Amino acid sequence: MTTQWTPEIADGVFFVGVRDHERRLFDSLIPLPQGTTYNSHLVRGEEKTALVDTVNPGFESDLLDRVASVCGEEAVDYVIMNHAEPDHAGAIPQVMARYPGATLLAGERGAQMAERYFGVSSTRLKVVDDGEEVNLGKKTLRFLSTPMLHWPETIMTYFVEQRVLFSCDFFGTHTAAGLYAREVPELIPFAKRYFGEIMMPFRAAGRRALERIDKLDIETIAPSHGPVHADPEMIVDSYRHWCAGETGAKATVVYVSMWGSTVRLVRQLTDQLSARGLEVGVHELSTADLGDIARDLVDSRTIVLGSPTVLGGLHPLASHAVNLVAALKPPARYAAFVGSYGWSGGALNQVKQMVEPTGLEIVGGVDIHGPPDATAREEVDALADAIAQAD
- Chain contacts with ligand FEO (rule: CB under 6 A): 83, 85, 87-88, 150, 169, 224-225
Our CB check for ligand FEO shows the closer of 87 and 379 to be: 87
Chain position whose Cβ is nearest to ligand FEO: 85
Our CB check for ligand FEO shows the closer of 35 and 346 to be: 35
The C-alpha atoms of residue 380 and residue 388 are separated, in whole angstroms, by 12
* Smallest distance, ligand FEO to C-beta of residue 224, A: 5
How many CB atoms sit inside 10 A of residue 163's CB? 15
Strand (E) or helix (H) holding 337: strand 334-341
* Smallest distance, ligand FEO to C-beta of residue 153, A: 10
> Which residues, including other chains, have CB under 8 Å from residue 369's CB and lie 6 or more apart?
340, 341, 342, 343, 345
* Smallest distance, ligand FEO to C-beta of residue 55, A: 11
Our CB check for ligand FEO shows the closer of 60 and 169 to be: 169
Our CB check for ligand FEO shows the closer of 39 and 340 to be: 39
Our CB check for ligand FEO shows the closer of 17 and 281 to be: 17
* Smallest distance, ligand FEO to C-beta of residue 267, A: 38
Our CB check for ligand FEO shows the closer of 243 and 335 to be: 243
* Smallest distance, ligand FEO to C-beta of residue 257, A: 35
From residue 204, give the alpha-carbon distance in Å to each of 149, 340, 357: 10, 38, 19
81: Cα within 13 Å, side-chain hemisphere: 36
Our CB check for ligand FEO shows the closer of 176 and 332 to be: 176
* Smallest distance, ligand FEO to C-beta of residue 84, A: 9
Our CB check for ligand FEO shows the closer of 62 and 367 to be: 62
- Can you tell me whether residue 150 is helix, strand or coil? coil
| CA neighbor of 88 nearest in space, from 170, 1, 162 | 170
The C-alpha atoms of residue 44 and residue 262 are separated, in whole angstroms, by 60
Cα three-residue angle 317-320-326, rounded to 5 degrees: 150
**Contact predicate 51/42, CB 8 Å:** yes
> Which residues, including other chains, have CB under 8 Å from residue 116's CB and lie 6 or more apart?
none
The C-alpha atoms of residue 81 and residue 53 are separated, in whole angstroms, by 5
* Smallest distance, ligand FEO to C-beta of residue 323, A: 21
Our CB check for ligand FEO shows the closer of 151 and 180 to be: 151
Q: What is the total residue count of the chain?
A: 391
Q: What are the E-state strand segments in 155-202?
A: 155-159, 164-168
Our CB check for ligand FEO shows the closer of 6 and 173 to be: 173
From residue 220, give the alpha-carbon distance in Å to each of 165, 211, 232, 308, 323: 6, 17, 6, 49, 37
Residue type, 220: T
* Smallest distance, ligand FEO to C-beta of residue 156, A: 13
* Smallest distance, ligand FEO to C-beta of residue 243, A: 17
The C-alpha atoms of residue 273 and residue 251 are separated, in whole angstroms, by 8
* Smallest distance, ligand FEO to C-beta of residue 85, A: 4
Mapping DSSP onto H, E and C, the string for 53-87 reads CCCCCCCHHHHHHHHHHHHCCCCCCEEECCCCCHH
